[in-house]
Amino acid sequence: MGKNAILALLVCAMMVATGAAVYLAQDPSESDGPDYPKVTVTQADGTEKTVKYKPERIVCLSTYACELLILYGYHDKVVGVTNSSYTNVDQAPYYGSGKSKDVGNFNEPNISEIVNLEPDLVITWSTQPGVAEQLEGVELPYVFLQCSAIDTMEMEATSLGKIVGKTEKAEEYCTFLNNVLDDIDARVATKTVKKTVYMESFSSYSAAGKSSAYYRLCVRAGAEMVFDNEKSQTVSKDAIILKNPSIIIKTPMLYKMINNGSKTIYDEIIGREGFGIIDAVKNEQVYILCSQLFGGPRCFAGMVACYDAMYPDEVPKGMNTLLQEYNTTFGVNMSIDSLSYP
Please give the single-letter amino acid code of residue 201. Answer: S
Q: Distance (Å, rounded) from C-alpha 121 to C-alpha 113?
A: 14
With b for 16 or more beta-carbon neighbours within 10 A and e for fewer, the 30-57 pattern comes to eeeeeebeebebbbbeeeebebbbbbee
Please give the single-letter amino acid code of residue 288. Answer: I
Per-chain mean pLDDT for the chain:
89
**pTM, rounded to two decimals:** 0.85
Reduced to 3 states, what is the DSSP secondary structure of residue 222?
Answer: coil
Domains annotated for the chain, with CATH where assigned, are: 38-165 (3.40.50.1980), 178-341 (3.40.50.1980)
Q: Which helix (H) or strand (E) holds 248?
A: strand 247-250
Model confidence at 15: pLDDT above 80: no
Q: How confident is the model over 150-209, as pLDDT tens digits?
A: 999 999 999 999 999 999 999 999 999 999 999 999 999 999 989 999 999 989 999 999
pLDDT the model gives residue 259: 79
In angstroms, what CA-CA distances link 339 with 48, 206, 249, 300, 320? 35, 20, 13, 13, 9
77 close to 56: Cβ distance less than 8 angstroms: yes
Helices vs strands, H then E, count in the chain: 15, 14
